[in-house]
Structure 1
Amino acid sequence: MDPRESKTQDQVPLGTSTNISGNGPHEPTRQQQLSLDTLTMDDDGPRETPPKSENNVEYIQGVRLALVIASISVVYFLNMLDTTVLATAIPYITDEFNSLLDIGWYGSAYTLATYVNLPGSLPKQAPRASCAALMGIVMGIGQLGLAFGPLIGGAFTEYASWRWCFYINLIIGIPVAAIILIMPIPDQLSKPALRDAFKNGVKVFDVPGFAIFTCAIVMFFLALQFGGNRLAWDSSAIICLFWASGFALIAWLVWDWYAGNDAMVPYSMMRQRIVWVSCLCMAFQAIPMYSLTVYLPIYFQAVLGRTAFQSGYTFLGTIVPQLLFAIVAGRAIEKTGYYTPFLLVGAVLSTVGLGLMSLLMPHSSAGMWVGFQVIYGIGRGISLSTPFVAVQNALPKRLIPAAMSMLMFTGNFFGAVAVVLCQTIFTNSLSELVPKYAPSVDPQVVIDAGSTKVREVVASDQLAEVMVAYAKSIDRTWYFDAAIAALAFVFGWLLGFKDIRKKREDEKSQNQPTQEVDQGI
């Protein structure tokens, strides 16, 4: 029997100290010896051999590999597309439902569900030497969704219906799901019996931790959504929601510590400085981006009077530089070996770009809002991959997929929080500034009208003043974004300055003895 096919419950986990000499209480069983694949027999008896080569593992190749890569790329493209496709549709959605107060839900409801990192499973289907190139293909195609999202969303909204922003997921997603379900893909890990899978499901998926954490974030979002809008900040309901979410968060932290490595967020991983600093930097990058994705199209459509499709291609001033400089920065990090300087420079440029955006008014020229976007987009692109690179080069390979999922979750979660926070800032600012600049206009009428219909409910002689209040309310969200982006510069120094090229050289030197043994030594 092939030792690789022997997968029993007695299999020794990676890293377990095993006495193979036959002496002592920890003598392995025959099944353990076979599963470890660390002994080989010859005429002189047993001798040690190196661990099983990765070349002996079965991976998909040829057409199957191409189909899997294409399917994952399309799914990631849809994931990124959904991040920005609603940007140009949100002003029209606020009109249909007659309220600006729900902007936070439009941007955050989807975002909260997107922390599952589908490309994270790719390393299991291809050799490690190919993973970098394949991940580059997936990430490159996926990032195109960011660029096409505003254009597609604007076209659907203006020429069909904003609901097509959601229908497109079914049209593309169902065939891709069918391909993945039909495609025979070898399992790299042993699977438990179906009965055992259901039995251990609660532990594996950390259902208690997930339930506690869900309660905490739902109550927190409700407090942010209703505070200052439907209910006063000092109302008993808002205060209770904040307190309850705080207690639920503490309970989740206690549970996470108790569950250890079986928790939704492994406690031992989060204790490592490089991990939690990378997560913080990821959050500080995501908050301005998600906020900008929502409020820049509102500026174009409500303040400047552009159509949904027009606001889609004007938003490319942010997306295109981000994509281009993400590629440039990735190559530069590979050549220089240092990622922290790129995070710091990117944080500075992002902060400057967001600060300049706070100068935008109804009379601002195209050169201003394009130039400010380009500055921010360059900064965002330069620093985009640095948290991922930091984690990849600080953790063992077996922990990298979990760490990647944590980074994605952190970015999407805080991005959703940012949309709700900025919605509160925006609507509260409208309530304050509309009476200041247009005393005869009821601010609630402006809020209830929605972004694009505000011009229809305000008298023509008051419209200019209301647009000033609108622009200044949006500017306040960018004050908040600029402050958050600056925090990435502060915490980025904690990543340290490590030459990742040395790790590659160490890995090559460690693999050399294995190659020699395989050749007959």
Structure 2
Amino acid sequence: MSDTTQENDHSNNSSSTFSEDTTQISTRSHSQEINTIKIVINDDNGHNHEKSEIKPPSPSAGENVDDQTTLLPFKQLLIVFMGLSLAIFLSSLDQTIVSTALPKIASDFHALSDISWVGTAYLLTSTAFQPLYGKFSDIFGRKSSFLFAISTFVVGSVLCGASVDMPMLIVSRAIAGIGGGGIMSLVMIIISDIVPLRERGKYQGIIGGTFTISSVVGPLIGGAFTDHISWRWAFYINLPTAALTIIIIITMLHLPHVYGSLKEKIKRIDFIGTIFLVASIVIILLPLNWGGNTYSWDSPIVISLFCVGAVLVCVFIFIEFRIAIEPVIPQHLFKLRNPVLVYITSFFIGMAFYGFIYYLPLYFQAVRGYSATEAGLQLIPLVLGLVLFSTVSGFATTVTGSYRPWIIFGYGLTTVASGLLSTLNENSNRGEEIGYLLIAGAGLGCSMQTVLLAAQSSVEHKDIAVVTSLSSFFRTIGGVFGVAISGAIFNNKLSSYLIDTLPSNIPLELVKNSVEYIHTLPPDTQTSIIHAYVHALSYVFFVAIPMAGVATITSLFIKHIPLRKTLGPIIAE
């Protein structure tokens, strides 16, 4: 098609007569039909001038030319945001509330040996399906994908509450995980459609605070249900919250329609890539979960699964780069500076963050002698720091438009907090514990949500959903690796220290697996065991220093891209 001819204005302050001759040219560009309008201009001197203009194409069926952004009235936006916050609270609460109920469930079903599979089933499906929701929300629409995730999560929760044996519970948790894996990503994706980049920080900060609060409240509610009502209500509690969320989203969230019939949308799915992605994640997560617990790290099954998983990842990459027409994870995102750096920092800060969440309660139970419920309450300083600074950094980003300093400062502070936490011991006072937890919370609060803005601001709007879901995915998968690495170090150090100091009449495995048992032993024996726990935990927090340190160093190379104050297309970096 010839370039558009530009015309000079031959008359000053004189009128011109326009006549139009519209011709449709049959051509293809990205499978779209392009309309060209030929405009004939007749000026006052009798000269005709022609110029061509490209008429914006109409959306063709099956093609993602849709822009799902929409500007909601402020009151409507607040209601929608409340629904999204409830969804985050629901998803995060579920993961922690169930952990408190597991011992009672194992006792009722007489299946203590299978109890670990309840958590593993949810972890496998939620992590494996998390990166898929970005692309699926492009194809089927944000609202439909979100309602599917919530509904699937609810169905799984109902089945969990109604389970009659352990196999049914494990399968039901896997179903719930399919939905739960998409909730966090889709909430962030929807926020990107209804809130301009410049305003997004404060909303994402509040979401981050909601996630953390529910993580701490979960064990308290789970313990109350298990002790006073029934462990089944740890699952049924999801129903009223989910129902309110669904009602708000259906009635208040109105996004532009995604063009194409259901058949055409299904054709766009990269089924082969999806299968290999899910399979590779599951096969890699299994040995990470089993290693050091069910099997030793050097066992044939663990090594074999890692090898098979690595091969499947290579096959998936080949499919996405060479075969897939519309890949689940577009390769061009890995050619952009900011998204790649965000993935790296999210992975490593996820390693440190999940290590804190998993092992700080153990410190308070084993070393300080608190119950599980009391240990959860001791994490309040961490929660307060995270919620406060997540909100402050979000609002500051909205006011100044600058997010990069918060990311660097937050990661750096998390690195410092890791070092401080590694010094905690049986003689540490409450002031040290509160101070160190506040610093850790502040560091995580400053960085964990603002870093997403760095990725979102550097891609075109058509890639927002995928880059958002991948950021969450890399943080989650980093957490899985972090817990596995920390667990291996902890078990190794604890075992070696106990073998050297534990009296022969005290069972080693019982000391390692029951913190309640420790505090029933004679004072001298208790002191020796508690010191062993302190010694092992110090290594866990110490190894978080390089994890957070890598995130800090990597964040220095993140490029600042101005945050737009309006919704709409975003120009890539």
Which runs of structure 2 are paired with 1:125-274 in the superposition (5 Å)? 126=194, 133=199, 136-137=202-203, 139-140=205-206, 143-157=209-223, 160-161=226-227, 164-181=233-250, 183=251, 186=254, 188-198=256-266, 200=267, 203-204=268-269, 206-259=270-323, 262-274=326-338
Structure 2 CA distance, aligned partners of 1:329 and 1:217? 33
From 455, 459, 479, give the equivalent of 1:391: 455
Query: What corresponds to 1:10 in structure 2?
Result: none
1:227 positional shift = 3.0
Do structure 1's residue 488 and structure 2's residue 551 form an aligned pair? yes
Per-residue CA deviation, residues 311-341 of structure 1 (Å, 9 max, x unaligned), is 2221011111122122222344445544333
Q: Distance in 2 between matches of 1:58 and 1:243?
A: 46
Q: CA deviation at 1:184?
A: 7.7
Q: Match for residue 446 of structure 1?
A: 511
Structure 1 residues 229 and 194 mapped into 2: Cα distance closer, same or farther (>3 Å)? closer
Give runs of aligned pairs for residues 491-506 of structure 1, distance below 5 A. 491-496=554-559, 498=560, 500=562
Distance 1:142 1:262, change over 3 A: same
C-alpha change, 1:64 and 1:333, in structure 2 (3 Å) is closer
- Give ranges in structure 1 of 5+ residues lacking alignment: 1-16, 511-521
One-letter amino acid matched to 1:171: P
In the TM superposition, what are the counterparts of 1:212-361 in structure 2 within 5 Å?
A: 212-259=276-323, 262-361=326-425
3-state DSSP of counterpart to 1:265 = coil
| Cα distance change of structure 1 residues 247 and 499 upon mapping to structure 2, 3 Å threshold | closer
The amino acid across from 1:146 in the alignment is T
Q: Distance in 1 between matches of 2:75 and 2:41?
A: 40
- Distance in 1 (CA, whole Å) between partners of 2:295 and 2:67 is 62
- Alpha-carbon distance in 1 for matches of 2:224, 2:311: 45
Report what 1:72 is aligned to: 84
Question: For the structure 1 residues 460 and 219, does the alpha-carbon distance in structure 2 shift closer, same or farther, using more than 3 Å as the test?
Answer: farther
Which residue of 379, 402, 416 corresponds with 2:443? 379
Range that drifts further, 131-140 or 148-157: 131-140
Q: 2:542 aligns with which of 463, 471, 479?
A: 479
In structure 2, C-alpha distance between the alignment counterparts of 1:100 and 1:210, rounded to whole Å: 29
Which residue of 455, 470, 482 maps to 2:519? 455
**Alpha-carbon displacement from aligned partner over 1:89-139 (angstroms, at most 9, x marks no partner):** 78999999768995984994586255521224425864x65x765774465
**Structure 1 CA distance, aligned partners of 2:419 and 2:323?**
43
Distance in 1, matches of 2:25 and 2:55, equals 23
> How far apart are 1:487 and its partner, in Å?
0.5
Q: Is the 8 A contact 1:279 1:387 kept in 2?
A: no
Q: How large is the RMSD of aligned CA atoms in angstroms?
A: 4.4
Q: Give distance in 1, aligned partners of 2:499 and 2:285.
A: 28
Shift of 1:278: 0.7
Deviates more, 1:384-393 or 1:333-342: 333-342
TM-score, structure 2 as length reference: 0.70
Q: TM-score, normalised by structure 1?
A: 0.76
Query: Given the superposition, is the C-alpha separation of residues 325 and 478 from structure 1 closer, same or farther in structure 2, using an over 3 Å criterion?
Result: same
The amino acid that maps onto 2:456 is Q
Q: Secondary structure at the match of 2:557?
A: helix
| Aligned equivalent of 2:93 | 81
Q: How many residues align?
A: 477
**Larger RCO (alpha carbons 8 Å, 6+ apart):** 1
Shift of 1:77: 2.4
Give the whole-Å Cα distance in 1 for the aligned partners of 2:242 and 2:522.
46
Structure 2 residue runs without a partner (length 5+) = 6-20, 44-49, 58-65, 128-176
